[in-house]
Amino acid sequence: MSMELIFGAVIAGLVVMFLAGKHFSRKLPKETHFECARCGTVARHNDRTIEAWRNNKTTYFCQPCHLKWLHGRAPREREGGISPAGSRSGSRSGCLGVVVLFAVVPLAGFLVLHAYA
Ligand SMILES: [Zn+2]
């Protein structure tokens, strides 16, 4: 193996590890439960409230209150509003971007290796 080959493999490996670490070490709230800002019920954090927490929201709503809140809004307002549900589509596309990177980076590494081989 030539030095370029090893170098390319190491770089590709580092990039993949960096991306994997960034994706899988996403922060979680210290508390597993929260008090609903509407009815005061202590509820368990779910994907929606954790996403809200990551967006520096300080008030969370339990699932029944969240659904009531959704139904109480006009459909037009529901899109792109401040709803924690609205931020979910964004996180999904973010995940898709990471998946694409996972597919592209090793391929790019392979092509680099192939070019030097
Ligand atoms: Zn509630």
Cβ atoms < 10 Å from Cβ of 8: 21
CA 64 – ligand 1 centroid, Å = 6
CA 100 – ligand 1 centroid, Å = 37
Dihedral over Cα of 73, 74, 77, 83: its sign: positive
CA 56 – ligand 1 centroid, Å = 19
Any residues with CB less than 8 A from the CB of 16 and at least 6 apart, and which? 102, 105, 106, 109
Per-residue pLDDT of 90-111, as tens digits, reads: 555 667 777 777 888 888 888 8
Per-residue pLDDT of 2-35, as tens digits, reads: 889 889 999 898 988 887 776 666 788 999 999 9
Q: Domain coordinates of the chain in residue numbers?
A: 3-116
- pTM higher than the cut 0.75: no
